[in-house]
Amino acid sequence: MTSETAIQNHTRRDFAFIGPNWRNNVGALLDARGVPVRYGLANETKAENKRTKSSDIIGITPTLVTADMVGSIVGIFTALETKHSAWVFKPDDPHTIAQLNFHNIVRNAGGYAGFVNDPAQINSIVRR
């Protein structure tokens, strides 16, 4: 089995040939006054993070637009959630469902999103 960290590193490397990408760390820490500071996408509140968990890798997929914008390249928001190589989707796992909720938000807005447990999957996610 290949670890999630290894899958993530290989996915970031492979996606770099397509477009820029960044690691999206999500969490909360206490500042010097003891006030919680939340960081990462879709993490403004604990409730939001419970229902919508943003992906491990956030990127931009350069895409050539056809017809009305011939020759223009636009950047499409891309979210990739990495998993270890033996991972399988479990529809009864609240954590996975919250990650899927983020994917659906991205896809419904015209972006690309998906689970990756093999870096080769990024090509089908970004339709290459």
- In the three-class reduction of DSSP (H, G, I as helix; E, B as strand; rest coil), residue 85 is classed as coil
* Structural domain span for residue 102: 4-125
Q: What is the pLDDT of residue 127?
A: 87
- What are the residue ranges of helices labelled H in 1-128? 4-15, 46-51, 94-108, 122-125
pLDDT average, residue stretch 81-85: 97
Domain count, the chain: 1
Average of per-residue pLDDT across 83-99: 96
Higher pLDDT pick, 71 / 28:
28
In this prediction, residue 70 carries a pLDDT of: 75
User: How far are the Cα atoms of 29, 38, 67, 74, 84 from residue 46, in angstroms, in the given order?
Assistant: 12, 9, 43, 33, 26
Domain holding 62: CATH number? Answer: 3.40.1350
Check pLDDT > 80 for residue 106: yes
Six token digits for residue 18: 């397509």
Per-residue pLDDT of 48-70, as tens digits, reads 999 999 999 999 999 888 778 77
